[in-house]
Amino acid sequence: MAPQQQAPWRVTMFGGGRGAASIARRLLATPGAALTLLINGYDNGLSTGALRRYLPGMLGPSDFRKNLLLHLDAGDPRLALLERRLPGGATPADLGRLIDELAAAGPGLEPIVRDLKVFAARLAARPDGLDLADCALGNLVLAGAYLRLDRDFNAAVRACAEMFGSPVALENVTGGENAYLAAVKADGTLLADEADIVGPQSAEPITGLFLLREPITGPLTGPLTGPLTGTELARRAATITPNPRALAALRDTDLIVYGPGTPHSSLLPSYLTPGVAEAIAGSRAAAKVFVVNLRDDHDSQGLTAADLVGRTLTYLRDPGNERGTVTHVLCHGRTLPPRAGLPGARWVAADLEDERRPGTHSGARTVEALAAVRAGTSLARAG
């Protein structure tokens, strides 16, 4: 049954920066569908990492910025503005002149200008420590909102969602505590931060993820034995709390979707959040669907769909799927892949790829498949 024929339904989807964007956009265009996106803020690469170092305590804003813009048409000037990156050699004075230009551009940009001014004031007071080169303007807007709202990251995300008129309920999965992601591979190699996790690496699989109070620097970096690495990283663990809004969205929803994306940075770390596994187990959702990636990322090379589903279940503390953490696995293709099978879950094969963008999910086809899963599950329960 096509989504347009469905009764109103709530969808709560775990995602990252762009992996699930086509699915989210299609859900926004689906009558009756209300979407909550659950994201983590552990991004620490390049200009995002530089911004986090400049503002200690702040999570990475990039994935939130990308999802705040999902509803904007390609011709919307706010989209180009917030995705605009400052050039190499940009100075605080250059940023100030740009803000003045935006302030003079006319109505509609006042909230953006306000928060950019907040950030610019901080930069004027402490000009050292941040290279503005390649910084996305939208990240600086989020940073300004973060400073304006007493360094409350989740409040900044909500304020920016309202600023941009986003119809998505975009929630950080945690309470906003600062944390840094690290990983260990099977041979004991340490991936010291999120940028290493998503970057080129050996074919050895990642076997452990850690959320740390502080970024790793100094002699801990580099190849180490597994036990030594695990013990030391566990000692440095950050204290994380759940975002109550995220837990409520998981409990009170019709469909939970474990969206596509970079597994070991965008998705699996979110499942480490206390309370998330319990909220999923107690959810009223008719179905809990794992959407398989269409291609490997650097961090998932050599891992099959079954492997990634298994890791999801392990991180959600339901390795045998006894609590029904995953009810369906949705994969692209005409036939099921080898090793398709999981206690308590049904594997579904469908044509999910966007023909115009190979390796990317077609939003229309994937949402249609999700709607069919939900409808079939609801009918089965009713029968």
Instruction: Find all residues with CB under 8 Å of 13, minimum gap 6, and list them.
Output: 20, 23, 24, 27, 35, 36, 37, 38, 256, 257, 258, 259
Residue 382 is predicted with a pLDDT of 37
* pLDDT at residue 135 tops 70: yes
Instruction: Find all residues with CB under 8 Å of 270, minimum gap 6, and list them.
Output: 14, 38, 39, 40, 173, 276
Length of the chain: 383
Q: Looking at the structure, do residues 69 and 192 belong to the same domain, yes or no?
A: no
Residue 219 is predicted with a pLDDT of 62
Residue 383 is predicted with a pLDDT of 33
* pLDDT at residue 381 tops 50: no
Domain presence at residue 173: no
Q: Looking at the structure, do residues 252 and 375 belong to the same domain, yes or no?
A: yes
Instruction: Find all residues with CB under 8 Å of 342, minimum gap 6, and list them.
Output: 306, 309, 310, 321, 326, 329
Q: Looking at the structure, do residues 63 and 159 belong to the same domain, yes or no?
A: yes
Percent of the chain scored above 90 by pLDDT?
Answer: 77
Domain presence at residue 17: yes
Q: Looking at the structure, do residues 94 and 138 belong to the same domain, yes or no?
A: yes
Residue 335 is predicted with a pLDDT of 72
Q: How far apart are CA 324 and CA 274, in angstroms?
A: 18
Residue 225 is predicted with a pLDDT of 54
Q: Looking at the structure, do residues 52 and 162 belong to the same domain, yes or no?
A: yes
CB atoms within 10 A of CB 48: 24
Q: What is the mean pLDDT of residues 223-239?
A: 75
Q: Which residue has the tokens 């009170």?
A: 252
Domain presence at residue 350: yes
Q: How far apart are CA 234 and CA 212, in angstroms?
A: 8
* pLDDT at residue 222 tops 60: no
* pLDDT at residue 238 tops 60: yes
Last residue of a domain, one of 166, 190, 216: 166
Domain presence at residue 171: no
Residue 224 is predicted with a pLDDT of 57
Residue 246 is predicted with a pLDDT of 98
CB atoms within 10 A of CB 312: 22
| Cross-strand pairs, 256 | 12, 288
Give the residue from 54, 63, 38, 56 showing the smallest Cα distance to 177: 56
Last residue of a domain, one of 166, 193, 210: 166
Q: Looking at the structure, do residues 253 and 378 belong to the same domain, yes or no?
A: yes
Q: Looking at the structure, do residues 264 and 361 belong to the same domain, yes or no?
A: yes
Q: How confident is the model at residue 32 (pLDDT cuts 50, 70, 90)?
A: very high
Domain presence at residue 328: yes
CB atoms within 10 A of CB 147: 17
Residue 219 belongs to what domain range? 180-235
Domains in the chain, number = 3
Q: Looking at the structure, do residues 35 and 117 belong to the same domain, yes or no?
A: no
Last residue of a domain, one of 213, 235, 257: 235
Q: How far apart are CA 234 and CA 332, in angstroms?
A: 37
Q: What is the mean pLDDT of residues 98-108?
A: 89
Domain presence at residue 174: no
Domain presence at residue 329: yes
For residue 353, the domain's CATH number is 3.40.50
Q: For the stretch 170-192, what's the b/e string if a residue is b when 16 or more beta carbons lie within 10 angstroms of its beta carbon?
A: bbbbbbbbbbbbbbbbeebbbbb
Q: Looking at the structure, do residues 74 and 152 belong to the same domain, yes or no?
A: yes
Q: Looking at the structure, do residues 35 and 113 belong to the same domain, yes or no?
A: no
* pLDDT at residue 321 tops 70: yes
Is 0.75 surpassed by the pTM of this model?
Answer: yes
pLDDT digits (tens, 9 = 90+) for 77-94: 888 888 999 999 999 999
Q: Which residue has the higher pLDDT, 190 or 220?
A: 190
Q: Looking at the structure, do residues 298 and 332 belong to the same domain, yes or no?
A: yes
Does residue 35 contact residue 27 with C-beta atoms inside 8 Å? Answer: yes
Domain presence at residue 62: yes
Q: Which residue has the tokens 């990634």?
A: 308
Residue 175 is predicted with a pLDDT of 98
Angle between helices 363-382 and 21-28 (to 10 degrees): 70
DSSP string over 186-234: TTSBEE-SHHHHHS---SSPEEEEEEESS---GGG-SB--HHHHHHHHH
Residue 220 is predicted with a pLDDT of 60
Q: Looking at the structure, do residues 287 and 328 belong to the same domain, yes or no?
A: yes
